[in-house]
Amino acid sequence: MLKSLQPLVLAAGVATLAACGGSSSQTSAPTSSTAPGTLTQNPPFRIASLDAAGFQAELSTTSSGAQLLQLTGNPTCGVDFYYLNFWTVGGAGEATESSGALMVPTGAAPACSGPRPIVLYAHGTEFNKAANIADITNAANAEGGLIAAAFAAQGFIVVAPNYAGYDISTLGYHPYLNAVQQSGEMMDILAAARAGLPSSLSASTSDSGALFITGYSEGGHVAMATQRAMIAAGKTVTAAAPMSGPYALEAYGDTIIFGGVPIGATLFAPLLTTSYQHAYGNIYATPSDLYTATYATGIDTLLPSDTPYTTLFTNGALPQSAVFDSTTPTAAETGSPQLAAALAIPPTFLLPQSASTPIFQAGFGNPFLINDSYRIAYGADALSNPDPGLLGTGASRVSTPPTQPLRLAFYTNDMRTGWQPNSPTLLCGGDADPTVFFPVNTQIMQAYWSALPAGLVTVLDINGTPSGPFAPLQGAYQAINALPSAGNPAGGTAFQQDVAFYESAAGGSLPQAQAEAAAEEAVVQGTHSAEAPFCTEAAFQFFLTVLNAGG
């Protein structure tokens, strides 16, 4: 099913792609400049080339690929896949090489050559240091396959960075959710792609000047930060579609501190704090100020990693889910009965679902990741200077900068900074997302921009009641991913298939009630990934509408 698209097996081995004209026949010359946005090799190297029929055939060989085609439609164009190496800077201004993808539509159809629009795409959080979104020959590159099918094969040039700290970048960390660095890197790869396209093997396709920006999860934040940065620089953005991103970072961080622990938080935390420590230098004097003794040693260089994150759990480098102490700090420890209560009983108005659910309970345990003292200091700042968005006002961040360093970093990288989109913008996500909370991010941004002209900002809850132009996508998503309810006691097909699995010998031969509980947990765990292809297709449809309207 399109439950997570992991892995999206394209069945496109190197030999097969090479037979389709996969390798570059050009001589690539190194460049001497290290200025941000400069290609290190020009022309860029072509990894693979598929015509429309070949791309469709490759996708059709797997069930996940065939289901992706049901969502995106068959390719209209072939795609040339290029690997870009370019210069950018890290979170502290360090020069570093980075890399990424240039996907160019090809073919005889009118939408496939000549001047074509660009989609500048930011990918979701990666823990694998070797990740390379350009390598379509890698069967694990699900996101690369998704954006190729959704955008490039439908006539959009796609430009997508791997981000500093990954692939060939020698930066020893990733500037995670650093709005200035990541938006700068997006603009750097855009400049590099525009420089490399005319000298590539796909020179019959050119840049029309129309620019669309999108990205998912971490990439949603990056996409919005890039939209903001380009507007500030006086550059034109034709339309944007940030998806399921942590936009209201201060509010999101406050929600987590008060007990709304998202799925994946023990992996996000080291990426985030290492990023901000390099950028600002004040998150801690030593990692043990923030992290418990069980996990502090080496955590500042842990991610991204060549070691699978599941191995990091099994070898004890990180807890699987316990971010906070299951023993609540007392009023004597916090110095405030109000703070002790807030840390002990998560205020349910902050959370996308009941605080009593196992999803949030899993965020507490022993051993745990974050020191009680650090959590108390952050919580005290959040109570004394509360985020207006969490109070339902739709206002900006707190009126004065926080004093707690991590909260100040969230404040600095929050998207509520006095700007507004000046071209059509779609915010897509799902209100049942247990990883990037829809009410605390997308809906806060919606409230923040509530005074803008009608129609400038469109919010799509992929899990909401189907209506409007995206109703077919909402219906298709829910047919697969819905949990049982009074109106739909059977649930979606993903739930039904998971129940059958857990009832079978392969899944442990569980009794029906236990199998249903396990299936519900599996669907919830996969929700954030499951939304991605549907929001991506919504972004494509949104961009096409803007383009056809003369945007």
pLDDT tens readout for residues 423-434:
999 999 999 999
Instruction: Name every residue whose Cβ is closer than 8 Å to that of residue 503 and which is 6 or more positions away in sequence.
Output: 509, 510, 511, 512, 515
Indicate if the alpha-carbon torsion angle 409, 411, 416, 422 is positive or negative: negative
Q: What are 78's strand-pairing partners?
A: 106
Bond before 115 cis per omega within 30 degrees: no
Task: Give me the residue label for tokens 């191995």.
Answer: 311
- Give the tokens for residue 93: 């201004």
Element at 482 (helix H, strand E): none
Tens of pLDDT along 444-497?
999 999 999 999 999 999 999 999 999 999 999 999 999 999 989 999 999 999
User: What average pLDDT does range 385-399 have in this prediction?
Assistant: 87
Under the banding of pLDDT at 50, 70 and 90, the label for residue 27 is: low
The encoded tokens of residue 334 equal 């916090």
pLDDT > 50? residue 56: yes
What residue has token string 């974050």? 370
What is the pLDDT at residue 9? 31
Q: Phi and psi for 80 in degrees, rounded to 5? A: -100, 130
Rounded to whole angstroms, the Cα distance separating 128 from 302 reads 11
Q: Two tokens at 97?
A: 């090489």
Domain boundaries, the chain: 17-237, 249-411
pLDDT value at residue 155: 98
109 CB burial (10 A radius; 0-12, 13-18, 19+): middle
Write the CB contacts of 374 (distance below 8 Å, at least 6 apart in sequence): 289, 290, 406
Band the pLDDT of 373: cuts 50, 70, 90: very high
> How high is the pLDDT of residue 392?
80
**pLDDT at residue 482 in the model:** 95
| Residue whose C-alpha is closest to residue 75's, from 54, 48, 96 | 54
Q: How far apart are CA 262 and CA 279, in angstroms?
A: 24
Residue 18: pLDDT over 50: no
Instruction: Specify the DSSP element, H or E, that contains 428.
Output: strand 425-429
- pLDDT tier at 350 (50, 70, 90 boundaries)? low
What tens digit of pLDDT does each residue of 163-214 get? 999 999 999 999 999 999 999 999 999 999 999 999 999 999 999 999 999 9
| Whole-number CA gyration radius for the chain | 23
Averaged confidence pLDDT in the chain: 92
Residue 260 corresponds to which tokens in the numbers above?
Answer: 């709304």
Per-residue pLDDT of 112-167, as tens digits, reads 999 999 999 999 999 999 999 999 999 899 999 999 999 999 999 999 999 999 99
SS (H, E, C) 134-163: CCCCCCCCHHHHHHHHHCHHHCCEEEEECC
pLDDT score of 8? 33
Angle between helices 471-481 and 527-548 (to 10 degrees): 170
**Of 185, 198, 164, whose CA–CA distance to 37 is shortest?**
185
Look at residue 5 and tell me whether its pLDDT is greater than 90: no
Q: Which residues contact 263 (CB under 8 A, 6 or more apart)?
A: 321, 359, 434, 435, 525, 528
pLDDT for the residue 330: 94
Average pLDDT on 239-264 reads 96
Residue 454 dihedral angles phi and psi, to the nearest 5°: -55, 135
pLDDT the model gives residue 391: 84
Alpha-carbon span 277 to 92, nearest angstrom: 9
What mean pLDDT comes out for the span 355-371?
82
> Is residue 3 pLDDT above 60, yes or no?
no
The helix, strand and coil proportions of the chain, stated in percent and rounded to the nearest 5, come to 40, 15, 45
pLDDT attached to residue 542? 98
Pair 255, 439: CB distance under 8 Å: no
The residue to which tokens 């043990």 are assigned: 288
CA distance 127 to 133: 13
Read off the pLDDT band of 344 (50, 70, 90): confident
- Chosen CATH of 17-237 out of 3.40.50.1820, 3.40.1710.10, 3.90.470.20, 3.30.465.10: 3.40.50.1820
Does residue 296 surpass a pLDDT of 60?
Answer: yes
d(CA 133, CA 126): 10
Tell me the C-alpha distance between 399 and 388, whole Å. Answer: 9
Residues 67/149, Cβ–Cβ less than 8 Å: no
